[in-house]
Amino acid sequence: MWQEALEQPLAPADRAVLYTNLAEAYRQIGRVDRTIKYLDLAIEIHEAAADNIALTRVLVEQGQAYGELGQYERAIDLLQQAVTLARVEQDARAEVAAVGALGNAYWASGNYKEALGRSQMSLELARTLDDPLYLTAALNNLGNIYASSAQRHRFQAGNARSEGDLEEAERLEALAASELESAIAALEESIEISERRLDRLASLFSPADPGEGTAEF
């Protein structure tokens, strides 16, 4: 359907949307190479139009695509560009998404220090938004990175203990325990926010009391 639409005369902005949709479709079937191809075409259009808001979002998707291929340096470069553009445009939601994606890219590359720093920054930004979806995403990212870092430090502690370095083992175990507590706190907060959101949605769609809203004359 989208391939056929591309054969029709389209405004550049509409063509960019189609390229982005095609990119996502290819991502869903695991053709990340095709995803990157179509996102590149969308990026060219947004750059030519100086549409930084749309460009920011496509750069985030492109960075994530390169991350899926294990090309973390390229992913990080694209996501840093997205963060910069989001700040220039003062697009808070795009900045939260870009910084969070950057944290995940650093995590995938094994750079836990940068990963935690960016994820904490994303969470701080998300708290300024009145949007539970962004907040829960930021909390989940941070919680997962803390949990992964704790697992890594536990493994390192085991190695240190097997080598007879008990002091280093205890230091790493304490660090892992602290990180695990932080992971639990972030994930529990995410769950609480999601539950409150579901409760509000349920109240909106629950049957009304027959007596409610009945006027008396």
Model confidence at 38: pLDDT above 50: yes
Average pLDDT over residues 49-69: 96
For every residue of 78-101, DSSP letters joined together read: HHHHHHHHHHHTT-HHHHHHHHHH
Residue 11, classed as helix, strand or coil, is coil
Range with the poorest average pLDDT among 28-32, 42-46, 175-179, 206-210: 206-210
Backbone phi and psi for residue 42, each to the nearest 5 degrees, phi listed first:
-65, -40
Model confidence at 200: pLDDT above 80: no
Provide the CATH number for the domain formed by 1-111 in this structure.
1.25.40.10
Model confidence at 1: pLDDT above 80: no
Integer-rounded Cα Rg, in Å, for the chain is: 22
What's the pLDDT score for residue 211?
47
The mean pLDDT value of the chain amounts to 91
Both tokens of residue 130?
Answer: 């009145």
Q: Residue ranges of the domains in the chain?
A: 1-111, 130-203
For every residue of 134-178, DSSP letters joined together read: HHHHHHHHHHHHHHHHHHHHHHHHHHHHHTT-HHHHHHHHHHHHH
Percentage of the chain beyond pLDDT 90 is: 82
Average pLDDT over residues 101-105: 98
What's the pLDDT score for residue 201?
66
Closest C-alpha to 88, from 52, 130, 125, 48 = 52
Model confidence at 48: pLDDT above 50: yes
**pLDDT per residue as tens digits for the range 132-175:** 999 999 999 999 999 999 999 999 999 999 999 999 999 999 99
Which segment, 3-7, 19-23, 170-174, is predicted with the most confidence on average?
A: 170-174
